[in-house]
Amino acid sequence: MEEPQIEVRCMLELLAKPKEVAVDALKKILSNIEEEGNKLAVNDVTYSEPQKVEADFYSVFATFKIKAEPTLLFGFVLDYAPSSIEVLNIKDLKLSASALQGILNDMSGRLNQMDQNIKMFSAQNVILGNENSELKKKLEGKK
């Protein structure tokens, strides 16, 4: 029996400066997606023209189709966070309880890792803010 496949159309957006970096970075991201285990079939890629949004920052997006089995597709969504996903076709999709459990546990693990990173960066930001306040007080005391 053939492996179940889901075909989706996605959009990835990127904000960067200068203009050339935005376009090159988006092309590199799509190249990375295509290289991941040769199991994500990426096609029909189109790139937008970069649009200046503010202070030399440019927004650029790409639309493309991906065809993959469900586990790889869920991983792609978690890794790349496309801004939109349109399901085009589902072929022979039947998930067993253990397959769904594996997908959900993978998603939960990745989300927990992201949550830990956010908490760590938040704590570091608070520490830096406190240190900055202390340095300001010391500098003002020397005046």
Phi, psi of 102 (to 5 degrees): -65, -45
pTM over 0.75? The answer is no
Residue 110: per-residue pLDDT: 82
Series of mean pLDDT values for 10-residue runs along the chain (143 residues)? 75 88 88 73 89 88 89 84 88 76 81 87 92 90 77
Residue 12: per-residue pLDDT: 92
Residue in 90, 101, 22 with CA at minimum distance from that of residue 62? 22
The secondary structure of the chain in percent helix, strand, coil, rounded to multiples of 5, reads 50, 30, 20
**b (16+ CB within 10 A) / e for 7-45:** bbebebebebeebeebbeebeeebeebeeeeeebebeee
Residue 107: per-residue pLDDT: 81
The Cα 57–Cα 18 span in angstroms is 6
Residue in 84, 79, 85 with CA at minimum distance from that of residue 32? 79
Residue 2: per-residue pLDDT: 57
* Length of the chain, in residues: 143
